[in-house]
Amino acid sequence: GENGNMELKYVHTTCPYCGTGCGFNIVVKDGRAVGIEPWHRAPVNAGKLCQKGRYAYEFIHSKDRLVKPLVRENGQLVETSWEEALALIAGRFMTFLPEEIVCLSSARTSNEENYLMQKFARVVLKTSNVDHCARLCHSSTVAGLAAVFGSGAMTNSILDIEESKCIFIIGSNTLEQHPLIGRRVMLAKKKGAKIVCADPRCTPTAKQADLHLSMYSGTDVALLNGLMHHIIENGWEDSAFISKRTKNYEEMKSVVMQEIYSLPNVSKITGVPEDDLKTAAEWIAQSKPSALIYSMGITQHTVGVDNVRSTANLMLLTGNLGVPGGGVNPLRGQNNVQGACDMGCLPDVYPGYQKVADPKNHRKMESIWGVSGLPKAPGLTVTELMEQLAEGTSTVKCMYVMGENFMLSDPDLNKVRKAMKQLDFLVVQDIFLSETANLADVVLPAACYAEKNGTQTNTERRVQRIRKAVDPPGDAKADWRIICELAGCMGYGPQFSYMNEAEIFEEISKVTPQYGGMSYERLEKPDSLQWPCPDKTHPGTPILHTEKFSTSDGLAEFSGIEWKPPAEVPDVEYPFILTTGRNIWHWHTGTMTRRSKTLASEVRTGWVELNPKDAKKLGIRNREKVRVLSRRGKIEIPSMVTEDIKPGVVFIPFHFKECAANLLTNGALDPVAKIPEYKACAVKIEKIEPQ
């Protein structure tokens, strides 16, 4: 309008932080984002927000934003034009063979951008080497749940958590890490639901629970088998459900009924009192419906897939699938980690989890994309790649990274640094000069969530719009535009000529069966749509597996799973178990939250939590700077002496580069999902003596 410049504009969009997928309004004044206001019709959060969402405008206009492409000249990153940067990249990319190049996509960007990144890898570079950080958080969920249910996603909805009569939270600090899902848990509790929380720390979530199972990190399978042992012993299993909807029950039963999983033994392994195990088993089995919620405390182990399958066993045993208020509910971490997986940014599947190795899918994709010669074999996972690079055995020489910061987020950072030295050419596309971008040969400035349109998919499979509120700073551009321009420079203009984000989404719905009935028009209504939504009249699917499971015979499959200890256990030299995680004020590697004034001023740096008994033995006072060492690295970090952590266990949040927890963590991988063991490794703690 006439005085448009001074008017406030409210733009509905979706939070860029966690997988809860809260909606809010960005307030725009004079072309700048000046605040966040509630959007009451947002389905997940109904206008409420956590602190990260509330201040999600503060980093947008940060003076640190990347505003020009950068190229390395004589060791220094110097500004250049888009033309020169893209020509340089296109020229270099063309010199590498498909097996020499890897693309890393990003759970921080939109579905459209993830879709284009895997298309770029497969169509332009002819490589299946495309992966993203889901490898590090929920690859064990995708592998584990798909094996049991035929689908690797959260089975139920955030809203129906409120209908639960008992909520079993294991390996998730829901109230701090998915606060607006935590709110649903608290609403269920208010209505009388029992809350059970299994965690080595007495987190804010454990404090709100009716029962806290204070377990040793890395004993999840033993704990779950013990609960099932007790349930079967008491005849509390749901026989009707088991016979009608599942198979392989006897095999599972023969494993969990072994003497080692009787409660006295499980109590010894897990450190949880026998009576607490009894109460938990009774509540979970006897309250209907019961829901199970888990997160990275389950997935980030060398036995991640085993852990996931055990959670499914428990809920199948008690007949809690396909019903409101029940389900196995993995909480996805990043805003769009579900979408990045759905879009096929994984080395073995096209969009919609269609296997690369299946010739039928191969032909389908070649015809839709209008190309031939797509790679036929699955590619490398990012964790395997890092290991091979560090060992000097990898064929890979070039990496194209969109919005990831593995120089702080990957395990065993000294190894990652060594791996990066093996590369001949590294391109990083990001909104800030992250630790990873700082190593790149070319850095491309990207637009942030508030500067582009698109969709992202939250943890309950809800595909929601993000909407442009302001222009990107300087020469920065949306990731999807950058990918299209680069494809154009490499001779694939026709396959990457989109006018806008809606056109990309149209192609996504054609390629991806679960998104088949979706369009921007249908996603306009606040409730949006939850996949699967196979056709234009389908209303979407809030609860999976109501009639049958997505497996070939429609049955869910039990499996007998034995407990195995973590890859590295405490010993005389390294006597503590280290577990890592997040904090409510900060997000992952802190690139955004540490540049947000309000959030940064709440928590300025990291800390190591240890129990007063351990602190006393070591002569360490609260807030004293100590040294923490593992076989892989060491850091100096302030202590936090607290009863909230079990003796023998220590905790460090991983956001802070000045005391990076991942210098200590173990890169050992789950054999199936290739997820690393962030949640358990052995460390020692030393007092720093004055010089």
Which of 230, 465 has the CB closer to ligand SF4? Answer: 465
Our CB check for ligand SF4 shows the closer of 106 and 267 to be: 106
Cα(163)–Cα(183) distance, rounded to whole angstroms? 13
* Residue 344 vs 403, nearer CB to ligand SF4: 403
Beta-strand (E) ranges in 352-453?
354-355, 398-402, 425-430, 442-445
Shortest distance, position 395 Cβ to ligand SF4, whole Å: 39
- Whichever of 71 and 187 has its CB closer to ligand SF4, that residue is 187
Nearer Cβ to ligand SF4 (48/61): 48
CB 136 within 8 A of CB 123: no
CB of 183 vs ligand SF4, minimal distance in Å? 9
CB 354, CB 275: distance < 8 Å: no
Task: Indicate if the alpha-carbon torsion angle 603, 604, 610, 614 is positive or negative.
Answer: negative
Task: Give min distance, CB of 360 to ligand SF4, in A.
Answer: 37
Instruction: Pull the structure tokens for residue 145.
Output: 């749940």
Closer to ligand SF4 by CB, 21 or 200: give it.
21
Instruction: Establish whether the linkage from the previous residue to 411 is cis, with ω within 30° of 0.
Output: no
Q: How far is the CB of 457 from ligand SF4 (least distance, A)?
A: 13
Q: Residues in the chain, how many? A: 691
Identity of residue 667:
G
Q: How far is the CB of 49 from ligand SF4 (least distance, A)?
A: 4
Return the number of the residue (72 or 189) whose C-beta is nearest ligand SF4: 189
Taking the least distance from each CB to ligand SF4, the nearer of 225 and 583 is: 583
Q: Which helix (H) or strand (E) holds 579?
A: strand 576-581
Cβ atoms of residues 131 and 347 within 8 Å = yes
Nearest distance in Å: CB 21, ligand SF4: 6
> In this complex, which beta carbon is closest to ligand SF4, that of residue 178 or of residue 201?
178
Interatomic CA distance for residues 549 and 538, integer angstroms: 18
Nearest-angstrom CA–CA distance, 271 and 531:
40
Residue nearer to ligand SF4 on the CB measure, 459 or 666 = 459
CB of 586 to ligand SF4, least distance (A): 11
Q: How far apart are CA 176 and CA 38, in angstroms?
A: 20
Which is closer to ligand SF4, CB of 49 or CB of 399?
A: 49
Shortest CB 682 distance to ligand SF4, Å: 32
Q: Which is nearer to ligand SF4, 208 or 551 (CB)?
A: 208
Closest CB to ligand SF4 among 26 and 312?
A: 26
**Least distance (Å) from ligand SF4 to the CB of residue 158?**
10
Helical (H) or strand (E) element with 604: none
In the chain, count of helices (H) and strands (E)? 25, 30
In whole angstroms, give the CA distance from residue 472 to residue 6.
20
Q: Binding residues for ligand SF4, per CB under 6 A?
A: 15, 17-18, 20-22, 45, 49-50, 52-53, 178-180
Q: At a CB cut-off of 8 Å and minimum separation 6, what does 445 contact?
A: 65, 66, 67, 68, 69, 429, 430, 431, 472, 473, 474, 475, 476, 477
Does residue 314 sit in helix, strand or coil?
helix
Q: Which of 105, 131, 103, 126 is nearest to 377 (CA)?
A: 126
CB-based burial label for 422 (10 Å; 0-12, 13-18, 19+) = middle
Nearest distance, CB of residue 182 and ligand SF4, angstroms? 8
Show Cβ contacts of residue 571 under 8 Å, excluding neighbours closer than 6 positions: 682
Structure tokens at 543: 């609860």
Tokens 């198979």 sit on residue: 247
Write down the least CB distance from residue 655 to ligand SF4, Å.
14
CA distance 22 to 452: 18
The pair of three-digit structure tokens given for residue 294, joined into one six-digit string: 């888990």
| Distance, CA of 201 to CA of 579 (rounded, Å) | 9
Q: Is 440 helix (H, G, I), strand (E, B) or coil?
A: coil
Determine the residue with CB nearest ligand SF4.
53
Taking the least distance from each CB to ligand SF4, the nearer of 13 and 666 is 13
Nearest approach, Cβ of 167 to ligand SF4 (angstroms)?
A: 17
- Kindly compute the dihedral angle of the four CA atoms of residues 196, 198, 203, 209, in this order, to the nearest 10 degrees: 10
| In the complex, least distance from residue 18 CB atom to ligand SF4, rounded to whole angstroms | 3
437 CB contacts (<8 Å, ≥6 apart)?
Answer: 66, 405, 428, 430, 443
Q: How far is the CB of 16 from ligand SF4 (least distance, A)?
A: 8
